């Protein structure tokens, strides 16, 4: 009975959405058809032309200097520069969830061991591969304004390197300094915002000079902010994994 009722409710929801998708886009609530979008009617046209504050001519890769954000990756310039306050909220939500996991599960001295025996070939190979994974993560968030990626997948790949080290060796735990690193990087992001407030007059404004579009040292504070976010997310997710493998503490 419960199952039939839930199937009916799910089918009703799907039918309602299909009706909205098939309606004419001249209605006021019609979602535009897949692919037929006029970008000049949306605010993203200003983000693409990098002309939110003043009008800008054509932007060319490697030639234009002192553009508004100066980063070649447009999604990065939206996430870190135009809508940077939402990123601050997201970093806060991750911090709260990592604190919650640490309160509920952490603090134990022992850790769960692996069920199968790991051969020394796997142990030695993982000690070679895990630093390569961390270097890949650092590359992804340092070049966040030139190539796709950014702070969040870079930090996740660093946490995957940590997970490899922990899954193979039965004695390894995280260092104590991991949680301190995470908190410090969070504070640093807020301090960069306050520095923007003191120097230029708005919170989290881009106050370093933005160089030529396409070089490594360009785009103002965007590489700095993404490095801070990448280190913070990497330390946070590693701390969550470390809390999940510990046991024996006085949990709630």
Partner 1 sequence: MSVFSFIIGVVMVGLAIFAIEAKKLLNSVIMLSAMSLLSVILFVIMEAPDVAITEASVGAGLTTAIFLLSLRKLKRADVE
Partner 2 sequence: MIQYFSMMLVAAGLYGLLSQKNLVKLIISLNIAEIGVNLFIVSIGYVEGGAAPILSSVSNNSSLLFVDPLPQALVLTSIVIGVGVTALALSLIVSVSKSRGTIDISELSSGGGDRE
Residue 25 Cβ vs partner 2, minimum distance, rounded to whole Å: 12
Neighbours of 188 (CB within 10 A): 17
Closest CA to 85 of 184, 181, 213, 197: 197
Q: How far is the CB of 78 from partner 2 (least distance, A)?
A: 4
Query: Nearer to partner 1 by C-beta: 189 or 226?
Result: 226
Q: In the bound complex, what is the minimum distance in angstroms from residue 96's beta carbon to partner 2?
A: 8
Instruction: Compute the C-alpha angle 176/241/119, nearest 5°.
Output: 100
Cα distance between residue 110 and residue 226, in whole Å:
35
- Residue 163 contact, options partner 1, partner 2, none, Cβ 5-8 Å cut-off depending on partner type: partner 1
Q: Smallest gap, in angstroms, from Cβ of residue 80 to partner 1?
A: 12
Quick check: 220 and 166 in contact, CB under 8 A? no
Contact partner at residue 162 from partner 2, partner 1, none, CB < 5 to 8 Å by partner kind:
none
Nearer to partner 1, 98 or 221 (CB): 98
- Site membership for partner 2, residue 27 (CB under 8 A): no
Q: Please, are residues 184 and 194 in contact by the beta-carbon 8 Å criterion? A: no
Instruction: Indicate which of partner 1, partner 2, none lies near residue 121 (CB less than 5 to 8 Å, by partner kind).
Output: none
Look-up of token digits 């407030």? 197
Shortest Å, Cβ 48 to partner 1: 14
157 binds, among partner 1, partner 2, none (CB under 5 to 8 A by kind): partner 1
d(CA 139, CA 131): 12
Cβ(165)–Cβ(172) under 8 Å? yes
36 contacts partner 2 (rule: CB under 8 A): yes
Of these, 25, 30, 31, 209, which contacts partner 2 (CB under 8 A)? 31
Cα torsion through 232, 76, 221, 215, rounded to 10: 120
Q: Given candidates 141, 152, 162, 226, which one binds partner 2 under the rule CB under 8 A?
A: 152
Q: Which does 97 bind (CB under 5 to 8 A by kind): partner 2, partner 1, none?
A: partner 2
Terminal C-alpha separation, the chain? 37
């Amino acid at each position: 009975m419960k199952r039939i009722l839930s199937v009916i409710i799910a089918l009703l929801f799907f039918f309602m959405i299909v009706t909205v998708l098939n309606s004419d886009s001249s209605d006021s609530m019609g979602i535009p058809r897949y692919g037929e979008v006029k970008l000049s009617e949306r605010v993203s046209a200003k983000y693409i032309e990098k002309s939110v504050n003043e009008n800008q001519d054509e932007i060319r890769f490697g030639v234009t200097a002192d553009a508004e954000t100066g980063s070649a990756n447009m999604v990065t310039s939206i996430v870190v520069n135009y809508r940077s306050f939402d990123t601050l909220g997201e970093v806060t939500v991750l911090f709260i969830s990592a604190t919650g996991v640490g309160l509920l599960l952490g603090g134990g001295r022992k850790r769960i061991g692996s069920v199968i025996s790991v051969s020394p070939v796997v142990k030695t190979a993982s000690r070679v591969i895990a630093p390569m994974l961390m270097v890949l993560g650092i590359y992804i968030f340092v070049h966040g304004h030139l190539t796709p990626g950014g702070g969040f997948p870079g930090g996740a790949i660093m946490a995957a390197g940590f997970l490899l080290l922990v899954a193979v060796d039965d004695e390894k735990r995280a260092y104590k300094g991991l949680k301190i690193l995470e908190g410090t990087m969070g504070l640093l992001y807020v301090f960069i915002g306050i520095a923007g407030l003191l120097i230029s007059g708005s919170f989290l404004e881009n106050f370093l000079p933005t160089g030529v579009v396409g070089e490594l040292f360009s785009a103002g504070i965007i590489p700095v902010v993404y490095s801070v976010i990448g280190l913070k997310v990497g330390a946070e997710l590693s701390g969550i994994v470390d809390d999940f493998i510990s046991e024996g503490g006085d949990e709630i």
